[in-house]
Structure 1
């Protein structure tokens, strides 16, 4: 039940506000939702108004420029998540009033820029719009390079696959200069000629150092500047929040992170368990971000809007201002920091047998890099790790114990090396490397997973609401596609049983070290569903865990902050836990942050592709080895060994014959020659085009499986022949699938 503030508390709150808050503002600030609670609030405000302690905003008159029925333009959700709009036409010199859109369940959802016919009603809380129907969807947006002309100019989009230019009149150019990166919106469709557009923002020189990530940030709408009120709230935060905490200062906790990490939100330590032979006590301490980011605060609203931090080769777009992420909430060496910590009891078989959560105060013994920790695990100590040798030895031994439990649990064991873009001081790519996968990485990951499991189990046991990290099992369609890939490689994925991760691991193990190793790993990854956040628990398939929640990274993930608040409320550690608003909007928050996570992943991937294209732009004509990693009706995708970059071989360049695409077997087959091109084949390609602005790479096929490919319009009937039995195998696979569908 929503708790109404007392008259004294409400009067005090009103006296601290700038301007005159509306009833809706007051309800949002105090988490008041529902008809009965709002009626009580209305009564309370009426009493305060009688006593001269509150003054309502005057109702806007109709002659302010708003007719009873009008066309409005949706501007998007505000900080509280309410959908807002503005008048599509506004003649007055005054600022147009904000309009709250009261959505109807029988109408489709509205998006930013949509034009809607609505009935407008002036209320004590402002103007409300009751939609009648949507007239027009929001204008298409484009990010591109402006090319000036005599009568305006054109925009060359930078999106992959966007080959149509946009016309811009002089009046709509905003003074953009030739070659500038611009953001624009469509103003008229392409009826005769090119579509028309209006420039909204000028973003500067696209070739400037570190402009690549800026393009992705704008293209995907990632907020990269904090509002002044958010910065002010962060700057005003105390070094140590008030409240009772358990003393963890004597624990030998330390952080292990990438060498260039600016924030440290998790610390670990381990020691033998005197009550369990061969067992260990492991502590995982996490920055107490909830102590600084309170529900319904400016910081909280901005963090929820961002959902997570976004990481690019040249910059980080953080979820929280640097005052928190890089200072007060970061577990720096030798500094006292508030934390939420969990004590994990691990037996000799590596199983978690018990856990206990505390709200404490810690001091990190050291801030180590993964490379330092790895060297220490191998007995190579330096000045920083020598005093910590015993603790690091216990940590490594405790991790070794968990390998037994991991082997029994069988989480999905994908082996896909991660690329790392190395930039020089000028912002240009100097090299592309694959990140090393060290035991030190696995140590931290395993104990973070264990802490996340403990958080989920703790909150389930206490019947406290939370956000789960959900990863559902693959669909039957995706599993069939994976079986086809496996069959094409001469491997088998078991059928007719409930799929478990151990079945996929058996497939991966069978492919390991062979010519189809990378292919099977990629195909297995593609068969997986995308993980998301949810208020309901459907388990985590990939980790083979029934209960899982994110607890260990509240500096960079809003989901973890929600879990922290739930733990605080469940243990009654303070008033900075769950608010009524948090609980009521939990499902909405799950959807919001799942979407922002996908947005960041897409932006990060686009940035990597653009950097790789820029890196390879001066290697046009160079020859590379690779493997066919994707087959589409318009060509082949090849993953190159040297950089891991993906490029397209257009179907028109494959030869002087028609190639038939088979989605079932994921092959292209020459109608005349019978040549079969399919997933996993080793190829040699030549780089024919690299477009840095779009991240696109075009390739020309030179060899397949060691045999030269016939060039188009030359040597007809000669050159590459299909792999022995490849055409027959593809035919058998398709025939088997046809029989199965007919059963």
Structure 2
């Protein structure tokens, strides 16, 4: 949401002249946008004011001028005033009014805008539209008096998450006969005495969940331990904190488990097409437990398509098992997607479905949704068809295994697949690459760092997996299948959720321009920007010391992808229409697309339910929120694990680069492993450092010593806070004066030598001012 405060004035209906060619004033247009938040696009504005023909060009210029003046913003091809709330969004219920009504605040709110707006939340009549205090709900703004305690009124569309009764924290034991107590993970909660009779064999320092059992008239409430998760040093305990703090559902209701256990495997062909003779293979990470996609390719035998290829993609038929309105369907909608931690997955579907019945296991007959795509020699898709099939995976391969075979190192399995399966796949990929290069999607180079755990769940080391052609091959095959799904549903006029990605906002582009100016680079100041423009910038810095930083700043300038029934295209992939079809085991959006294809093509009775079209906007909002929730939980877990790992390196020094500059200090990224830490401005030497926004730098008042975005620095680890997942550094090297580096003596260590000696490398993700995390590298298309 916008960083600006919201204008809360009430709007009344206005009447405007609608004489063709009679242009409205800027004030008239702004008033119409204000009266129709989230619904006023260029077409709607033109229709309302009767603007036709060539006059639309003048309207376009007025809208552009209003945007450049900061008076309106464009979101999903709709105009809104800066700071306006969208019509539908997710909110937390945080308090009650003096009359007992619920008050809520938006989940997505920029803290820099100050306190979030208070929203009076009105419950509906059904059970699932009646939230309680602490719940999370999808709401729609509505007309009505919000009273003196709120700025807006909204009605509940659906309750997304119910508050958990258990409290999570660290068990702390006291000396003597005093009872142990719980140190809550949530710092807003009070410490709780723990009943010694309900300890569940928990030890001092263990992560536990407790339930308040009784509360005396005096002193702290007393609680009993419900579950023990083990030492705080383990991944399970750390990821449990993320699940709890982000309210991620992770225990399946009994009705869901019963439905999953009663499901039967598909062992008969029935009405399905037989694809069991096609040697489809799965290519996944070596530790993958579920396999939802398989691929195969062969040269096109059509003489009119010389040099072309036919590509087959088979996707697990989740829709066969998860029927609309069933317990599994409701739970999958609530979860939205699977959540991935370093050593475990919180699945969207029960394991019997995700890992057994739906997973495209090697040499087993499995139901699938298949797409057959024909490409010409330039990589242009000529045609495609969808099929409901029974298939049998010829082999389960890992990315490394398949890549090695192509590179000439085969094993017993890949030796038999090399000529008939793998080489044709790579030849088809070479053709698809030509099409990708002609399309010119955004080509960010931000390798994702992974954590390797020991058997006890603690961090062993951090590494960057090699980006192989095998990864790119599967990615491109999946993109093409996703495009084919969107095209088919759109052609059949079937409701669907698009995967949309808007272009950058003018504000973000301006910030990018300012940054590029500090490294003597420019962004075009006029004309529509396409991904190729950003790619040109990235190519200029490729293989330089600034490459990673520029890639990340370009990523920050991009909008966030989301699910929406209104198509605005996918800017990053440079595609006019795009939907998620290839991962229904782990994404609810893909399951909706599968159902759409079943309905549109007459492939069964388990397609889209009646009336779903009116619900897609709400569903898109829910699962987009669930995706952001999962990303935050995954990031927080990594941050906390790394902070734990680095807690014995306090005092060690590292080489890094300034990755962000704010008034209160600098974010530092370590060069070896990409660790993120924060340097408070108050700890930088004896000078007073002022923040220069234009140059993204901190500059000393007296010395002129400058620390600028992208500068290399040497830092010492001062503190590692596992609960917060944060690292604090101090600068021990130098700044610059008038472009020249100046050297200053290294200060003494503030915390003494690291325990057991410094490893000399680390990674992590600290929190900056006000607990805001340094930006991460992960991007989901």
TM-score normalised by the shorter chain: which range applies?
0.7 to 0.9
Taking the aligned partners of 2:353 and 2:316, their CA distance within structure 1 comes to 10
Taking the aligned partners of 2:336 and 2:139, their CA distance within structure 1 comes to 25
Q: Note if 1:274 corresponds to 2:301.
A: yes
1:145 Cα deviation (Å)?
3.4
Q: Note if 1:234 corresponds to 2:260.
A: yes
Instruction: Choose which of 297, 309, 316 in structure 2 pairs with 1:287.
Output: 316
Q: In the superposition, relative to structure 1, how do residues 108 and 630 fare at CA in structure 2: closer, same or farther (>3 Å)?
A: farther
More displaced, 375-384 or 412-421? 375-384
1:267 Cα deviation (Å)?
0.4
When normalised by structure 1's length, the TM-score is 0.74
The alignment partner of 2:387 has SS state of strand
1:245 Cα deviation (Å)?
0.6
Instruction: Choose which of 241, 256, 260 in structure 1 pairs with 2:287.
Output: 260
Across the aligned residues of Structure 1 and Structure 2, the Cα RMSD in angstroms comes to: 3.7
Q: Note if 1:384 corresponds to 2:410.
A: no
Q: Which residue of 1 is the match for residue 617 of structure 2?
A: 587
Q: Decide whether the 8 Å contact of 1:168 with 1:198 is kept in 2.
A: no
Q: In the superposition, relative to structure 1, how do residues 156 and 685 fare at CA in structure 2: closer, same or farther (>3 Å)?
A: farther
1:591 Cα deviation (Å)?
0.5
Matches within 5 A, 1:631-646: 631-646=661-676
Instruction: Choose which of 105, 126, 134 in structure 1 pairs with 2:142.
Output: 105
1:483 Cα deviation (Å)?
1.5
Q: Decide whether the 8 Å contact of 1:628 with 1:636 is kept in 2.
A: yes
Q: Note if 1:216 corresponds to 2:242.
A: yes
Taking the aligned partners of 1:489 and 1:79, their CA distance within structure 2 comes to 58
Instruction: Choose which of 370, 373, 387 in structure 2 pairs with 1:341.
Output: 370
Q: Structure 2: any 5+ residue segments left out of the alignment? A: 1-97, 105-120, 157-161, 213-218, 736-740, 750-781
Q: Which residue of 1 is the match for residue 391 of structure 2?
A: 362
Q: Decide whether the 8 Å contact of 1:689 with 1:698 is kept in 2.
A: yes
Matches within 5 A, 1:564-643: 564-643=594-673
Residues 602-622 of structure 1: CA deviation (Å, up to 9, x unaligned): 000011111111221211111
1:429 Cα deviation (Å)?
0.8
Q: Note if 1:654 corresponds to 2:684.
A: yes
Taking the aligned partners of 1:523 and 1:203, their CA distance within structure 2 comes to 43
Taking the aligned partners of 1:338 and 1:358, their CA distance within structure 2 comes to 11
Q: Decide whether the 8 Å contact of 1:206 with 1:212 is kept in 2.
A: no
Residues 326-377 of structure 1: CA deviation (Å, up to 9, x unaligned): 0110000111111111101011001111101111111110000000110122
The alignment partner of 2:337 has SS state of coil
Q: Decide whether the 8 Å contact of 1:153 with 1:167 is kept in 2.
A: no
When normalised by structure 2's length, the TM-score is 0.71
Aligned residue pairs, count: 601
More displaced, 654-663 or 703-712? 703-712
The alignment partner of 2:595 has SS state of helix
Whose Rg is larger? 1
Q: Note if 1:250 corresponds to 2:277.
A: yes
Q: Which residue of 2 is the match for residue 412 of structure 1?
A: 442
Taking the aligned partners of 1:588 and 1:260, their CA distance within structure 2 comes to 35
1:418 Cα deviation (Å)?
0.7
Q: Which residue of 2 is the match for residue 83 of structure 1?
A: 129
Matches within 5 A, 1:165-564: 166-168=189-191, 170=193, 179-181=205-207, 204=228, 205-207=230-232, 209=234, 210-240=236-266, 243-275=270-302, 276-390=305-419, 391-564=421-594
Taking the aligned partners of 2:723 and 2:403, their CA distance within structure 1 comes to 39
Q: Decide whether the 8 Å contact of 1:491 with 1:510 is kept in 2.
A: no
1:515 Cα deviation (Å)?
2.0
Residues 100-151 of structure 1: CA deviation (Å, up to 9, x unaligned): 9999934699xxxx99xxxxxxxxxxxxxx99xxxxx999998543556799
Residues 147-178 of structure 1: CA deviation (Å, up to 9, x unaligned): 5679988865657xxxx675446599997886
Q: Decide whether the 8 Å contact of 1:182 with 1:200 is kept in 2.
A: no
1:207 Cα deviation (Å)?
1.9
Q: In the superposition, relative to structure 1, how do residues 158 and 645 fare at CA in structure 2: closer, same or farther (>3 Å)?
A: farther
Q: Structure 1: any 5+ residue segments left out of the alignment? A: 1-68, 89-99, 116-129, 132-136, 187-194, 715-743
1:182 Cα deviation (Å)?
5.8
More displaced, 196-205 or 517-526? 196-205
Taking the aligned partners of 2:252 and 2:336, their CA distance within structure 1 comes to 14
Q: Decide whether the 8 Å contact of 2:319 with 2:594 is kept in 1.
A: yes
1:220 Cα deviation (Å)?
0.9
1:693 Cα deviation (Å)?
2.3
Taking the aligned partners of 2:558 and 2:238, their CA distance within structure 1 comes to 29
The alignment partner of 1:385 has SS state of helix
Q: Decide whether the 8 Å contact of 1:649 with 1:700 is kept in 2.
A: yes
The alignment partner of 2:488 has SS state of helix
Q: Decide whether the 8 Å contact of 1:620 with 1:688 is kept in 2.
A: yes
